[in-house]
């Protein structure tokens, strides 16, 4: 459970960094994301999940 909490904490740090460092750019980027079709967002999300799964697999080997 400790390892899980550390991983979640690291994800939150990485996710929060762009909003802290570049708030204006993040607002512009969010507006662009809102204009993307759902299919593109689903594909991007699926690819990210596959890459994450591969990274976990490689890290656990």
Counting Cβ atoms within 10 Å, is residue 45 exposed (0-12), middle (13-18) or buried (19+)?
exposed
Among residues 15, 25, 17, which one has the least CA distance to residue 48?
A: 15
* Percent residues over pLDDT 90 in the chain: 87
Residue 14 confidence (pLDDT)? 96
Q: Does residue 60 have a pLDDT over 90?
A: no
Inter-helix orientation angle 2-21/23-35, to 10°? 100
> Collapsing DSSP states into helix, strand and coil, what is residue 37?
coil
Using a pLDDT cut of 70, give the percent of the chain over it: 100
**Residues 29-51 pLDDT 10s:** 999 999 999 999 999 999 999 99
């Amino acid at each position: 459970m400790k390892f899980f909490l550390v991983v979640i904490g690291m994800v939150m740090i990485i996710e929060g960094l762009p909003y802290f460092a570049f708030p204006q750019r993040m607002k512009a980027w969010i507006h662009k994301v809102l204009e993307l079709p759902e299919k593109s967002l689903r594909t991007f999300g699926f690819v990210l999940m596959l890459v994450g799964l591969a990274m976990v697999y490689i890290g656990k080997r």
